[in-house]
Structure 1
Amino acid sequence: MKLGNTFVGTLVLAISAASASYADKLTLYCSAQEDWCQLMARSFEDATGIDVNMTRKSSGETFAQIRAEATNPKGDVWWGGTGDPHLQAAEEGLTMEYNSPMRGELHDWAISQAESAGNRTIGIYSGALGYGYNTQLLADNNLPEPSCWKDLLKPDYKGHVQMANPNSSGTAYTTLASMVQIFGEDEGFDFMKGLHANINQYTKSGSAPIKAAGRGESTIGIVFMHDAVAQAAAGFPIKVVAPCEGTGYEIGSMSIIDGARNEEEAKKFYDWALSAEAQNLALQVNAFQVPSNTGAQTSDKAPDMSTIKLIDYDFKKYGSSDERKRLLQKWDEEVSTLPQ
């Protein structure tokens, strides 16, 4: 059958338009706070004209989703969340190697994160682990002011402490891995068992415990300190604590999903998200992490990392697939099953 030139031309234009429409899209998996995720998505759309479909989930949930979708990837970029699951995704080949031209503008710790993962992820912000407490509830319940990790084991705090579940939350996994590194594995798990006795709820999201404390629904929330600062900045009676024994920290990360349907758009987002301009958006939503671009602004309310006793957190070991699985299984078997 002979096709007319007009029909063929129309068909080619239609296919080209469909291809262009498909290419001008990006599916973003985001593991930072909801309003920051929304701002990043909309700002990238404004800057490039690329439509962004954004889904917000905790880092543990996002990692599980990317793994489940490995044979048929749905997402393009995973932005935000603790670095450990990003490192594990890199180890399992779920994310792709990419060397951004923006690397020269980044802090050394952001590049170290990339190099430890074969350049399959990169650092976008950092933040120290700690906790915050509601000063009003503490006073109302005649509770002593905690200043160390081990203070949280006191019987006084039974039912007053909240943290996330380390299976779903990168924040909580960082807590578990930090306790093992601070106290040694045996004593670290003894700490987690003692803490379990005082926990009122394990949440899905890492920032939920301090939001509950801000609302007066719980007294103490174990979180990254910048999340506690955000509650205090919003006017809630929250005091932020950098524990006396020392603490772990996160390198929030970004990765391009291996097999991304919109790889070129993913790389454009990746480069843009490493710019000082994009990282300065954090200030609009009271995100108090330390940005990875050396030219980006850090809020004067952000925790001063130089004054916090940080451990030499072993990202390579505790971000590995085997170690993460082992620690989570041990927590599931030895801690979560204990009575409260």
Structure 2
Amino acid sequence: MNSIKLATAALAAATALFALPVYAAGNLNVICSADQQVCDLMKGLFEKQTDISVNMVRLSAGETYAKIRAEARNPKTDLWWAGTGDPHLQAASEGLTLEYKSPLFDQLQDWAKKQAESAGFRTVGVYAGALGWGYNTEILQKKGLKEPKCWADLLDPSYKGEIQIANPNSSGTSYNTLATLVQIMGEDKAFDYLSKLNANISQYTKSGSAPVKAAARGESTIGVVFMHDAVAQTVEGFPIKAIAPCEGTGYEIGSMSIVKGAKNLDNAKKWYDWALSADAQSHMKDAKSFQLPSNKSAEVPKEAPKFEDIKLIDYDFKKYGDPDVRKALLSRWDKEIGAKAN
């Protein structure tokens, strides 16, 4: 009897030993450049479905690019999820991210595929959203202000101190705005426009979505943001109306990249493939995220601003994701706008 017990115990111990790697799935270090609520949702879903422990921090796209660049010789991050595509493309062009083509690539929208192909598969599109703004309808009516429908309208002196926009050095949203205006107007006219707009700006925020959140709280009237961020505030019950500029507007391709030298590479690839799946992307709306998903089979939130309803420019992602172009535009912004910011 004792020998049977010993044999059984030995077998159980051996089984446990060989089963251990299945349960000890390891860790994954992720930087998330979406809103905190979305980051938390994705982290929770992935951990539940994979048993991989995710160490996640939330940083804006500009901050993340700077961090990955600074840590290039000894990466602390495995994967960068979300945030505007321009800094992802810049990181790709500098060899800071790893080439990887997901098995799910053929399931993606054409704009997501083009993003990946233009970067040599060092990044990929996970969602898209058009640039615009949201304004507080109650404050606008109370102050007797006109509805701003066009970029030109934002220069109206009646909006002095009523507008917030992020700083393009830290915010991918704001860099996208800068690049959009340059493409619509030409560089010199765009900077002349931004110089005039500065008179109406109450604050340059760190985060891209912060301006419309301030408008929702009644701390300002207008927030220049991606339209889906304005829609998110409307869905939450705030008196925010989203606007697509009449002259035309740019758009973002929120992206994802594996950091070159990732310590947990296999787990990074697991997140990468999972985050491109229709199931994972269909859950983003649960966190009040109203972008257009990149997987063709993912559920599109009914509230999401549709590209077919918006006058979009042919945004040149490759050019404005180029490190030299980005550096030149930000340097000029610092000298001509940032230096005299309110």
TM over 0.5: yes
- Alignment partners' CA distance in 2, 1:268 and 1:108: 22
- Alignment partners' CA distance in 1, 2:289 and 2:341: 36
Cα shift at 1:84 = 0.2
- Say if 1:196 and 1:336, in contact at 8 Å, map to a contact too: no
- What are structure 1's unaligned runs of at least 5 residues? 1-12
Residue in structure 2 matched with residue 53 of structure 1 by the alignment: 55
| Aligned partner letter, 1:76 | D
Cα shift at 1:283 = 1.4
Tell me, yes or no, if structure 1 residue 274 matches structure 2 residue 280. Answer: no
Please give the root-mean-square deviation of Cα atoms over the aligned residues, in Å.
Answer: 1.7
Tell me, yes or no, if structure 1 residue 179 matches structure 2 residue 166. Answer: no
- What are structure 2's unaligned runs of at least 5 residues? 1-15
Deviation track 1:189-216 (CA, whole Å, cap 9, x = no partner) reads: 1111111111000000000000000000
Tell me, yes or no, if structure 1 residue 225 matches structure 2 residue 227. Answer: yes
> In the superposition, relative to structure 1, how do residues 181 and 102 fare at CA in structure 2: closer, same or farther (>3 Å)?
same
| Aligned partner letter, 1:49 | D
Residue in structure 1 matched with residue 152 of structure 2 by the alignment: 150
Cα shift at 1:142 = 1.2
- Alignment partners' CA distance in 2, 1:77 and 1:331: 30
Q: Which runs of 4+ in 1 moved over 4 A?
A: none
Secondary structure at 2:64 match in 1: helix
- Alignment partners' CA distance in 2, 1:201 and 1:335: 12
- Alignment partners' CA distance in 2, 1:295 and 1:78: 23
Residue in structure 2 matched with residue 33 of structure 1 by the alignment: 35
Residue in structure 2 matched with residue 75 of structure 1 by the alignment: 77
Residue in structure 2 matched with residue 320 of structure 1 by the alignment: 322
- Alignment partners' CA distance in 2, 1:281 and 1:36: 10
| Aligned partner letter, 2:324 | D
Cα shift at 1:337 = 1.6
Residue in structure 2 matched with residue 304 of structure 1 by the alignment: 306
Residue in structure 2 matched with residue 192 of structure 1 by the alignment: 194
- Alignment partners' CA distance in 1, 2:266 and 2:280: 18
Taking structure 1 as the reference length, what is the TM-score of the superposition?
A: 0.93
- Say if 1:192 and 1:335, in contact at 8 Å, map to a contact too: yes
- Alignment partners' CA distance in 1, 2:101 and 2:242: 37
Secondary structure at 2:340 match in 1: coil
| Aligned partner letter, 1:229 | V
Deviation track 1:224-265 (CA, whole Å, cap 9, x = no partner) reads: 000000001110000111000000000000000000000000
Cα shift at 1:145 = 1.0
- Alignment partners' CA distance in 1, 2:320 and 2:341: 28
- Alignment partners' CA distance in 2, 1:200 and 1:139: 19
Residue in structure 2 matched with residue 6 of structure 1 by the alignment: none
Cα shift at 1:338 = 2.4
Q: Which of 227, 242, 245 is the aligned partner of 1:243?
A: 245
Residue in structure 1 matched with residue 46 of structure 2 by the alignment: 44
Residue in structure 2 matched with residue 259 of structure 1 by the alignment: 261
- Alignment partners' CA distance in 2, 1:72 and 1:87: 21
